[in-house]
Protein backbone atom coordinates (compact mmCIF):
# COMPACT_ATOMS: atom_id res chain seq x y z
CA UNK A 1 0.00 0.00 0.00
CA UNK A 2 1.35 3.41 -0.95
CA UNK A 3 1.91 5.71 2.04
CA UNK A 4 -0.29 8.71 2.68
CA UNK A 5 2.42 11.34 2.37
CA UNK A 6 1.81 14.49 4.45
CA UNK A 7 5.36 15.84 4.71
CA UNK A 8 5.59 18.09 1.65
CA UNK A 9 7.33 20.84 3.65
CA UNK A 10 10.29 18.47 4.01
CA UNK A 11 10.31 17.58 0.32
CA UNK A 12 7.61 17.25 -2.30
CA UNK A 13 7.52 14.75 -5.18
CA UNK A 14 8.94 16.02 -8.45
CA UNK A 15 6.37 17.36 -10.87
CA UNK A 16 5.95 15.14 -13.92
CA UNK A 17 7.12 17.93 -16.24
CA UNK A 18 10.25 18.54 -14.17
CA UNK A 19 11.02 14.83 -13.93
CA UNK A 20 10.74 14.41 -17.71
CA UNK A 21 12.93 17.47 -18.30
CA UNK A 22 15.50 16.15 -15.83
CA UNK A 23 15.72 12.69 -17.38
CA UNK A 24 15.96 14.10 -20.90
CA UNK A 25 18.79 16.44 -19.98
CA UNK A 26 20.69 13.76 -18.08
CA UNK A 27 21.13 11.93 -21.39
CA UNK A 28 23.23 14.79 -22.75
CA UNK A 29 26.91 15.35 -22.10
CA UNK A 30 28.76 18.61 -21.76
CA UNK A 31 30.35 20.81 -19.13
CA UNK A 32 28.75 24.27 -19.38
CA UNK A 33 32.19 25.86 -18.95
CA UNK A 34 33.69 24.00 -21.91
CA UNK A 35 34.06 25.84 -25.23
CA UNK A 36 33.31 22.99 -27.63
CA UNK A 37 29.86 22.33 -29.06
CA UNK A 38 28.63 20.07 -26.24
CA UNK A 39 29.83 22.60 -23.69
CA UNK A 40 28.11 25.48 -25.49
CA UNK A 41 24.87 23.51 -25.68
CA UNK A 42 25.06 22.76 -21.96
CA UNK A 43 25.70 26.43 -21.29
CA UNK A 44 22.61 27.36 -23.28
CA UNK A 45 20.56 24.96 -21.14
CA UNK A 46 21.88 26.66 -17.98
CA UNK A 47 21.14 30.15 -19.27
CA UNK A 48 17.68 29.24 -20.56
CA UNK A 49 16.96 27.78 -17.13
CA UNK A 50 18.26 30.95 -15.47
CA UNK A 51 15.86 33.04 -17.54
CA UNK A 52 12.89 30.82 -16.67
CA UNK A 53 13.77 30.81 -12.98
CA UNK A 54 14.21 34.58 -12.95
CA UNK A 55 10.84 35.04 -14.62
CA UNK A 56 9.14 32.78 -12.07
CA UNK A 57 10.73 34.68 -9.16
CA UNK A 58 10.28 38.24 -10.44
CA UNK A 59 14.01 38.76 -10.90
CA UNK A 60 16.46 39.60 -13.68
CA UNK A 61 18.41 36.59 -15.01
CA UNK A 62 21.68 38.13 -13.89
CA UNK A 63 20.38 38.08 -10.31
CA UNK A 64 20.00 34.27 -10.20
CA UNK A 65 23.04 32.50 -8.74
CA UNK A 66 22.70 28.71 -8.92
CA UNK A 67 23.44 26.74 -5.74
CA UNK A 68 23.02 23.22 -4.40
CA UNK A 69 19.92 24.23 -2.42
CA UNK A 70 18.49 26.55 0.18
CA UNK A 71 21.10 25.83 2.86
CA UNK A 72 23.97 26.84 0.61
CA UNK A 73 22.06 29.90 -0.58
CA UNK A 74 21.41 31.02 3.01
CA UNK A 75 25.04 30.50 3.97
CA UNK A 76 26.26 32.35 0.90
CA UNK A 77 24.02 35.32 1.59
CA UNK A 78 24.58 35.56 5.34
CA UNK A 79 28.33 34.94 5.39
CA UNK A 80 29.05 36.63 2.07
CA UNK A 81 27.12 39.79 2.89
CA UNK A 82 28.48 40.00 6.42
CA UNK A 83 32.09 39.61 5.33
CA UNK A 84 31.72 42.14 2.51
CA UNK A 85 29.91 44.74 4.60
CA UNK A 86 32.19 44.32 7.61
CA UNK A 87 35.30 44.60 5.48
CA UNK A 88 34.01 47.79 3.89
CA UNK A 89 33.04 49.24 7.29
CA UNK A 90 34.42 47.49 10.41
CA UNK A 91 31.68 49.07 12.52
CA UNK A 92 29.13 46.83 10.84
CA UNK A 93 29.21 43.83 13.15
CA UNK A 94 25.51 43.35 13.91
CA UNK A 95 23.34 40.72 12.21
CA UNK A 96 19.65 41.09 12.95
CA UNK A 97 17.51 37.98 12.59
CA UNK A 98 14.48 36.33 14.19
CA UNK A 99 13.98 33.59 16.75
CA UNK A 100 12.02 31.35 14.36
CA UNK A 101 14.46 31.04 11.45
CA UNK A 102 15.33 27.67 9.95
CA UNK A 103 18.66 26.32 11.21
CA UNK A 104 20.09 27.07 7.74
CA UNK A 105 19.56 30.71 8.68
CA UNK A 106 20.32 30.61 12.40
CA UNK A 107 23.43 28.42 12.47
CA UNK A 108 25.52 30.51 10.02
CA UNK A 109 24.76 33.61 12.10
CA UNK A 110 25.81 31.94 15.33
CA UNK A 111 28.94 30.63 13.59
CA UNK A 112 29.81 34.16 12.45
CA UNK A 113 29.35 35.31 16.02
CA UNK A 114 31.63 32.60 17.40
CA UNK A 115 34.32 32.75 14.73
CA UNK A 116 34.23 36.21 13.12
CA UNK A 117 33.15 38.68 15.78
CA UNK A 118 29.57 39.19 14.63
CA UNK A 119 27.00 40.42 17.12
CA UNK A 120 23.75 38.50 16.85
CA UNK A 121 20.50 40.33 17.49
CA UNK A 122 17.53 37.94 17.66
CA UNK A 123 14.17 39.64 17.29
CA UNK A 124 11.22 38.23 19.23
CA UNK A 125 8.02 37.01 17.61
CA UNK A 126 4.41 37.02 18.76
CA UNK A 127 2.35 33.99 19.77
CA UNK A 128 1.62 33.20 16.10
CA UNK A 129 5.24 33.45 15.00
CA UNK A 130 5.25 36.94 13.44
CA UNK A 131 8.34 39.07 13.85
CA UNK A 132 8.03 42.03 16.23
CA UNK A 133 8.34 45.02 13.90
CA UNK A 134 8.54 47.48 16.80
CA UNK A 135 11.59 45.64 18.09
CA UNK A 136 13.12 45.84 14.62
CA UNK A 137 12.42 49.59 14.39
CA UNK A 138 14.04 50.13 17.78
CA UNK A 139 17.10 48.10 16.81
CA UNK A 140 17.55 49.92 13.50
CA UNK A 141 17.06 53.34 15.10
CA UNK A 142 19.65 52.62 17.77
CA UNK A 143 22.27 50.77 15.70
CA UNK A 144 21.70 51.50 12.00
CA UNK A 145 25.38 52.31 11.42
CA UNK A 146 26.47 49.00 13.01
CA UNK A 147 24.08 46.62 11.24
CA UNK A 148 25.61 44.52 8.49
CA UNK A 149 22.37 42.89 7.39
CA UNK A 150 18.89 41.77 8.43
CA UNK A 151 17.63 38.23 7.83
CA UNK A 152 13.93 37.31 8.05
CA UNK A 153 12.50 34.12 6.53
CA UNK A 154 9.56 34.68 4.16
CA UNK A 155 7.48 31.81 5.58
CA UNK A 156 8.19 29.54 8.51
CA UNK A 157 8.86 25.88 7.77
CA UNK A 158 7.27 24.55 10.96
CA UNK A 159 4.10 26.55 11.64
CA UNK A 160 3.63 28.20 8.24
CA UNK A 161 3.55 31.82 9.40
CA UNK A 162 4.11 34.29 6.55
CA UNK A 163 6.34 37.17 7.62
CA UNK A 164 5.77 40.85 6.74
CA UNK A 165 8.78 40.97 4.42
CA UNK A 166 7.80 44.23 2.71
CA UNK A 167 7.48 46.02 6.07
CA UNK A 168 10.88 44.69 7.18
CA UNK A 169 12.46 45.97 3.98
CA UNK A 170 10.81 49.38 4.39
CA UNK A 171 12.32 49.73 7.86
CA UNK A 172 15.77 48.74 6.60
CA UNK A 173 15.75 50.75 3.37
CA UNK A 174 15.86 54.13 5.10
CA UNK A 175 19.38 53.28 6.27
CA UNK A 176 20.43 51.24 3.22
CA UNK A 177 20.62 47.98 5.19
CA UNK A 178 20.38 44.86 3.02
CA UNK A 179 17.68 42.32 3.89
CA UNK A 180 17.95 38.60 3.18
CA UNK A 181 14.96 36.25 3.15
CA UNK A 182 14.88 32.47 3.22
CA UNK A 183 12.02 31.94 0.74
CA UNK A 184 12.41 28.16 0.59
CA UNK A 185 8.91 27.44 1.89
CA UNK A 186 7.29 30.39 0.12
CA UNK A 187 8.15 29.95 -3.57
CA UNK A 188 5.44 28.10 -5.45
CA UNK A 189 3.02 28.33 -2.54
CA UNK A 190 2.37 32.07 -2.08
CA UNK A 191 3.16 35.00 -4.40
CA UNK A 192 6.89 35.79 -4.38
CA UNK A 193 8.24 38.69 -6.41
CA UNK A 194 11.89 39.46 -5.72
CA UNK A 195 11.91 42.80 -7.50
CA UNK A 196 8.76 44.05 -5.79
CA UNK A 197 9.92 42.83 -2.36
CA UNK A 198 12.92 45.15 -2.22
CA UNK A 199 15.07 42.36 -0.81
CA UNK A 200 18.81 42.30 -1.32
CA UNK A 201 19.02 38.50 -1.42
CA UNK A 202 16.64 35.54 -1.34
CA UNK A 203 17.21 31.78 -0.99
CA UNK A 204 15.15 29.15 -2.83
CA UNK A 205 15.26 25.35 -3.06
CA UNK A 206 13.86 23.35 -5.96
CA UNK A 207 12.72 20.24 -4.11
CA UNK A 208 10.18 22.28 -2.13
CA UNK A 209 8.17 23.18 -5.26
CA UNK A 210 8.48 20.05 -7.38
CA UNK A 211 12.04 20.19 -8.67
CA UNK A 212 15.00 17.90 -7.90
CA UNK A 213 16.85 17.64 -4.61
CA UNK A 214 20.27 19.29 -4.59
CA UNK A 215 19.34 22.34 -6.67
CA UNK A 216 18.61 25.86 -5.50
CA UNK A 217 19.43 29.47 -6.08
CA UNK A 218 20.48 32.62 -4.34
CA UNK A 219 18.73 35.58 -5.92
CA UNK A 220 20.95 38.60 -5.35
CA UNK A 221 20.86 42.17 -6.60
CA UNK A 222 23.63 42.93 -9.07
CA UNK A 223 24.86 45.95 -7.08
CA UNK A 224 25.74 43.81 -4.05
CA UNK A 225 29.23 42.76 -3.10
CA UNK A 226 29.15 39.18 -1.79
CA UNK A 227 32.30 37.51 -0.55
CA UNK A 228 32.40 33.95 -1.96
CA UNK A 229 32.50 30.91 0.30
CA UNK A 230 34.25 28.76 -2.29
CA UNK A 231 36.91 29.58 -4.86
CA UNK A 232 37.67 27.84 -8.10
CA UNK A 233 36.51 28.41 -11.65
CA UNK A 234 34.74 31.68 -10.98
CA UNK A 235 31.30 30.55 -12.12
CA UNK A 236 28.10 32.34 -11.08
CA UNK A 237 29.37 35.92 -10.92
CA UNK A 238 32.55 34.61 -9.22
CA UNK A 239 30.39 34.11 -6.13
CA UNK A 240 29.79 30.35 -6.37
CA UNK A 241 32.46 28.37 -8.18
CA UNK A 242 31.81 24.81 -9.29
CA UNK A 243 30.72 22.81 -12.34
CA UNK A 244 27.21 23.83 -13.28
CA UNK A 245 24.44 21.24 -12.96
CA UNK A 246 22.69 21.79 -16.28
CA UNK A 247 20.14 18.99 -15.88
CA UNK A 248 19.24 20.00 -12.33
CA UNK A 249 18.91 23.68 -13.15
CA UNK A 250 16.78 22.87 -16.20
CA UNK A 251 14.40 20.71 -14.15
CA UNK A 252 14.26 23.27 -11.35
CA UNK A 253 13.28 26.05 -13.73
CA UNK A 254 10.57 23.88 -15.30
CA UNK A 255 9.17 23.11 -11.85
CA UNK A 256 9.27 26.75 -10.77
CA UNK A 257 7.49 27.86 -13.93
CA UNK A 258 4.69 25.33 -13.43
CA UNK A 259 4.38 25.91 -9.69
CA UNK A 260 4.05 29.66 -10.14
CA UNK A 261 1.66 29.33 -13.09
CA UNK A 262 -0.69 27.11 -11.06
CA UNK A 263 -0.12 28.84 -7.73
CA UNK A 264 -3.53 30.49 -7.38
CA UNK A 265 -5.62 27.42 -8.17
CA UNK A 266 -3.39 25.10 -6.15
CA UNK A 267 -3.40 27.45 -3.16
CA UNK A 268 -7.21 27.49 -3.28
CA UNK A 269 -7.30 23.67 -3.42
CA UNK A 270 -4.80 23.19 -0.61
CA UNK A 271 -6.42 25.93 1.45
CA UNK A 272 -9.70 24.02 1.31
CA UNK A 273 -8.01 20.80 2.41
CA UNK A 274 -6.14 22.72 5.11
CA UNK A 275 -9.29 24.22 6.62
CA UNK A 276 -11.02 20.85 6.53
CA UNK A 277 -8.08 19.11 8.18
CA UNK A 278 -7.83 21.68 10.97
CA UNK A 279 -11.55 21.37 11.71
CA UNK A 280 -11.45 17.57 11.71
CA UNK A 281 -8.37 17.39 13.96
CA UNK A 282 -10.04 19.74 16.45
CA UNK A 283 -13.13 17.53 16.43
CA UNK A 284 -11.19 14.27 16.76
CA UNK A 285 -8.75 15.54 19.41
CA UNK A 286 -10.46 18.51 21.14
CA UNK A 287 -7.46 19.36 23.30
CA UNK A 288 -5.16 19.74 20.26
CA UNK A 289 -4.00 23.33 19.73
CA UNK A 290 -3.19 24.84 16.35
CA UNK A 291 0.20 26.55 16.10
CA UNK A 292 0.51 29.73 14.06
CA UNK A 293 -2.23 31.83 12.46
CA UNK A 294 -5.62 30.55 11.38
CA UNK A 295 -5.86 29.74 7.64
CA UNK A 296 -5.61 32.85 5.49
CA UNK A 297 -3.04 35.16 3.89
CA UNK A 298 -0.74 35.03 6.94
CA UNK A 299 -0.31 31.25 6.74
CA UNK A 300 1.01 28.92 4.05
CA UNK A 301 -1.98 27.12 2.46
CA UNK A 302 -0.49 23.65 2.87
CA UNK A 303 0.68 23.89 6.49
CA UNK A 304 -1.18 22.36 9.45
CA UNK A 305 0.73 22.25 12.74
CA UNK A 306 -0.71 21.09 16.06
CA UNK A 307 0.43 20.66 19.62
CA UNK A 308 -0.98 17.43 21.05
CA UNK A 309 -0.59 17.95 24.82
CA UNK A 310 0.78 14.97 26.70
CA UNK A 311 2.07 13.22 23.57
CA UNK A 312 5.63 12.26 22.83
CA UNK A 313 6.15 13.60 19.32
CA UNK A 314 8.37 10.74 18.17
CA UNK A 315 5.88 8.17 19.43
CA UNK A 316 3.01 9.88 17.62
CA UNK A 317 5.02 10.07 14.43
CA UNK A 318 5.99 6.39 14.57
CA UNK A 319 2.43 5.24 15.30
CA UNK A 320 1.13 7.21 12.34
CA UNK A 321 3.92 5.83 10.19
CA UNK A 322 3.00 2.28 11.17
CA UNK A 323 -0.46 2.99 9.75
CA UNK A 324 0.97 4.33 6.49
CA UNK A 325 0.60 8.03 7.31
CA UNK A 326 3.83 9.98 6.92
CA UNK A 327 4.15 13.31 8.72
CA UNK A 328 6.81 15.19 10.67
CA UNK A 329 7.03 16.20 14.30
CA UNK A 330 8.73 19.40 13.17
CA UNK A 331 11.29 19.35 15.99
CA UNK A 332 15.04 19.16 15.63
CA UNK A 333 16.84 15.95 16.53
CA UNK A 334 20.46 15.47 17.43
CA UNK A 335 22.02 12.04 17.78
CA UNK A 336 18.53 10.55 18.05
CA UNK A 337 17.51 12.70 21.04
CA UNK A 338 14.40 14.82 20.58
CA UNK A 339 14.60 18.52 21.31
CA UNK A 340 11.77 20.96 21.85
CA UNK A 341 11.07 23.10 18.78
CA UNK A 342 12.90 26.43 19.02
CA UNK A 343 10.10 27.94 16.92
CA UNK A 344 7.40 26.97 19.43
CA UNK A 345 9.58 28.13 22.34
CA UNK A 346 9.99 31.52 20.65
CA UNK A 347 6.21 31.71 20.25
CA UNK A 348 5.79 31.35 24.00
CA UNK A 349 4.92 27.67 24.27
CA UNK A 350 6.33 25.56 27.09
CA UNK A 351 9.13 23.11 26.42
CA UNK A 352 6.70 20.28 27.06
CA UNK A 353 4.27 21.58 24.44
CA UNK A 354 7.10 22.37 22.05
CA UNK A 355 8.12 18.71 22.21
CA UNK A 356 4.55 17.47 21.58
CA UNK A 357 3.97 18.69 18.04
CA UNK A 358 3.03 17.26 14.69
CA UNK A 359 3.16 18.99 11.30
CA UNK A 360 0.96 17.84 8.46
CA UNK A 361 2.10 19.56 5.27
CA UNK A 362 0.08 19.25 2.09
CA UNK A 363 1.24 19.41 -1.52
CA UNK A 364 0.40 18.76 -5.13
CA UNK A 365 -0.20 15.03 -4.62
CA UNK A 366 -2.39 15.44 -1.52
CA UNK A 367 -5.95 14.18 -1.87
CA UNK A 368 -9.03 13.74 0.27
CA UNK A 369 -8.01 10.11 0.78
CA UNK A 370 -4.83 11.23 2.55
CA UNK A 371 -6.82 13.30 5.03
CA UNK A 372 -9.31 10.48 5.60
CA UNK A 373 -6.48 8.03 6.26
CA UNK A 374 -4.94 10.37 8.83
CA UNK A 375 -8.17 11.02 10.69
CA UNK A 376 -8.99 7.30 10.75
CA UNK A 377 -5.93 6.61 12.91
CA UNK A 378 -5.17 9.93 14.64
CA UNK A 379 -7.24 9.48 17.85
CA UNK A 380 -5.75 6.02 18.47
CA UNK A 381 -2.26 7.31 17.63
CA UNK A 382 -2.62 10.17 20.10
CA UNK A 383 -3.76 7.82 22.86
CA UNK A 384 -0.90 5.43 22.22
CA UNK A 385 1.62 8.28 22.13
CA UNK A 386 0.36 9.45 25.52
CA UNK A 387 0.97 6.07 27.08
CA UNK A 388 4.66 6.31 26.28
CA UNK A 389 4.99 10.03 26.99
CA UNK A 390 6.63 9.37 30.32
CA UNK A 391 9.53 7.59 28.65
CA UNK A 392 10.00 10.42 26.19
CA UNK A 393 9.61 13.04 28.92
CA UNK A 394 12.48 11.38 30.77
CA UNK A 395 14.63 11.65 27.66
CA UNK A 396 13.68 15.21 26.77
CA UNK A 397 13.16 16.83 30.16
CA UNK A 398 14.83 14.48 32.61
3-state helix vs strand vs coil in the chain, percent to 5: 45, 15, 40
- In this prediction, residue 235 carries a pLDDT of 95
Catalytic residue list contains 333 = yes
Q: Which of 333, 365, 383, 387 is catalytic?
A: 333
pTM of the model: 0.94
Task: Report DSSP state, residue 312.
Answer: -
CA distances from 279 to 143, 274, 348 (A): 45, 9, 23
Half-sphere exposure of 97 (CA within 13 A, CB side): 27
- The answer for 287, left when phi > 0, alpha when psi is -120 to 50, beta otherwise, is alpha
- In this prediction, residue 110 carries a pLDDT of 98
Give the span between the Cα atoms of 226 and 271, in whole angstroms.
Answer: 38
Cβ-contact 294, 275 below 8 angstroms? no
Cβ-contact 140, 132 below 8 angstroms? no
Positions of the chain with pLDDT lower than 70, given as ranges? 1, 331-338, 389-398
**Beta strand 337-338 with 333-334: parallel, antiparallel or unpaired?**
antiparallel
pLDDT, tens digit, 9 for 90 and up, residues 156-168: 999 999 999 999 9
- Measure CA 56 to chain center: 17
- In this prediction, residue 333 carries a pLDDT of 47
Domains and CATH numbers, the chain: 16-260 (3.40.640.10), 263-397 (3.90.1150.10)
- In this prediction, residue 390 carries a pLDDT of 61
Name the CA dihedral angle for 236, 242, 244, 249, rounded to a multiple of 10 degrees: -70
- In this prediction, residue 335 carries a pLDDT of 37
Give the span between the Cα atoms of 185 and 162, in whole angstroms.
Answer: 10
CA distances from 365 to 131, 209, 306 (A): 31, 12, 22
Q: Tell me how far apart the terminal alpha carbons of the chain are, to the nearest angstrom.
A: 39
Q: Which residues pair with 156 in a beta bridge?
A: none
Q: Give the residue from 318, 307, 321 showing the smallest Cα distance to 355.
A: 307
Amino acid sequence: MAPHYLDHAATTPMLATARAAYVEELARVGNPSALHKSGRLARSVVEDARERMASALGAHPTEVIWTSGGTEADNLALKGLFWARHQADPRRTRIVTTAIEHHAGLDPVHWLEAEHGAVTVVLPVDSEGRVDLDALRAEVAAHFDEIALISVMWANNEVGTVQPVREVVNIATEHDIPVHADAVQAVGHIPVDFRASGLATMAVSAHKFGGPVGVGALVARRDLTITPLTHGGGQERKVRSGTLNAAGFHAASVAATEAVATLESEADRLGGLQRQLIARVREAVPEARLSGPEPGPERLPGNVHFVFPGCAAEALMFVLDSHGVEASNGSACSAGVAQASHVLIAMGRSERDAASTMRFSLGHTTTQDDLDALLAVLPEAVNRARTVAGVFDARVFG
